[in-house]
Structure 1
Amino acid sequence: MTVRSRGLNKLTKWLLLLSFFLLTDSAQTGSSTATSEADRAVDAEETHSEPPSSSLLNVTLAKKPSLDPKPSPPLVGNYDLRKPNGEVCLKANMGVQYMLTVNKKFYYFNMNPLVTRATGYCGNLTAVLSLEFEGGNLEFTFVKEAKEYYTRKIRALLEPVSMCKKCKSQSYPGIMEKEKLFKTTTGLCFKCKSELVVKMSPDFRLKMMAAQFQPFDLANGQFGKDFECWQDYIKRIIPIILGAIAVGVCLIATVSYLITREYRNQGYERLL
Structure 2
Amino acid sequence: MKTRCPAAPLGLVLFGLLLLDGSVLFQTYAVDVEVKDASNITCLYAKWMMNISITYESESNGFKKTAFTLPEQLTYDGSSCGNDTKGPVLAIEFGKDHSWVISFTKTADTYQGSISFTYNTNDTELFPDAKKKGLITISANYPERPVQLNTVFSCNDVDFIEDDNVRQDFWNVSLQVFLEDGFRSSNKTLCDQVTVPTATVPTTTVPSTTTEPNDTTSSPSPTLPPEENPATGKYSVVNGTAACLLATMALQLNISQKEPLIINFNPNTTSARGSCGATSAVLELKDKNNRVVFVFAARAQNAERYYLREVNITVAESTNETLFAGNRSLNYWDTSRGSSYMCRREETLVVAPGYKINIFDLKIQPFDVEDGQFSQAEDCIFDVDNFFVPIMVGAALAGLVFLVLMAYFVGRKTHRNAGYEQF
Amino acid at match of 1:176: N
Distance 1:147 1:64, change over 3 A: farther
1:82 is aligned to 2:238: yes
Shift of the 141–257 alpha-carbon distance from structure 1 to 2, 3 Å rule, reads closer
> Cα RMSD over matched residues?
3.4
Q: Counterpart of 2:402?
A: 253
Q: State whether structure 2 residue 328 is matched by structure 1 residue 177.
A: yes
1:156 aligned to which of 294, 310, 313: 313
Correspondence for 1:114: 268
**Corresponding residue of 1:57:** none
For residue 244 of structure 2, give the secondary structure of its aligned residue in structure 1: strand
Secondary structure of 1:114's counterpart equals: coil
Deviation at 1:130, TM superposition (A): 1.3
| Contact kept? 2:257, 2:355, Cα under 8 Å | no
Query: What is residue 349 of structure 2 aligned with on the other side?
Result: 198
Q: Which has the higher contact order (CA 8 A, sep 6+)?
A: 1
Q: What do residues 184-230 of structure 1 show as CA deviations (whole Å, max 9, x unaligned)?
A: 3322222334544333332212222333222222111111222345x
Task: Say which is worse superposed, 92-101 or 260-269, in terms of deviation.
Answer: 260-269
* CA–CA separation in structure 1 for the residues paired with 2:396 and 2:335: 34
Which residue pairs with 1:98 in the alignment?
253
Query: C-alpha deviations, 1:81-105, integer Å up to 9, x for none?
Result: 22343x21210112222111144x6
Distance in 2, matches of 1:271 and 1:214, equals: 75
- Measure the CA separation in 1 of the matches of 2:383 and 2:329: 24
Cα distance between partner residues in 1 of 2:282 and 2:361? 20
One-letter amino acid of the counterpart of residue 268, structure 2: L
| Residue type of the alignment partner of 1:226 | A
Say whether the 8 Å CA contact 1:189–1:224 is kept in structure 2: yes
Identity %: 22
Q: What is the identity, as a one-letter code, of the residue corresponding to 1:186? A: R
Q: Aligned-pair distance for 1:233?
A: 2.6
Structure ID, larger Rg: 1
Structure in which a larger fraction of residues adopt helix: 1
Q: Which runs of 5+ in 1 are unaligned?
A: 1-62, 162-167
Q: Secondary structure of the equivalent of 1:260?
A: helix
For normalisation by structure 1, the TM-score amounts to 0.59
Contact 1:192 1:211 in 2 (8 A): yes
Task: For 2:270 and 2:316, locate their aligned partners in 1 and report how far apart those are by CA, in whole Å.
Answer: 15
**Amino acid in structure 2 at the alignment position of 1:178:** S
The AA in structure 2 aligned to 1:109 is I
Deviations 1:66-115 (A, max 9, x none): 241x8853322211122343x21210112222111144x64422222222
Q: Is the alpha carbon distance of 1:189 and 1:247 closer, same or farther for their aligned partners in structure 2, counting shifts above 3 Å?
A: same
Q: Compare the two structures and name the one with the higher strand fraction.
A: 2
Query: Which one of the candidate residues 142, 146, 165 is aligned to 2:296?
Result: 142
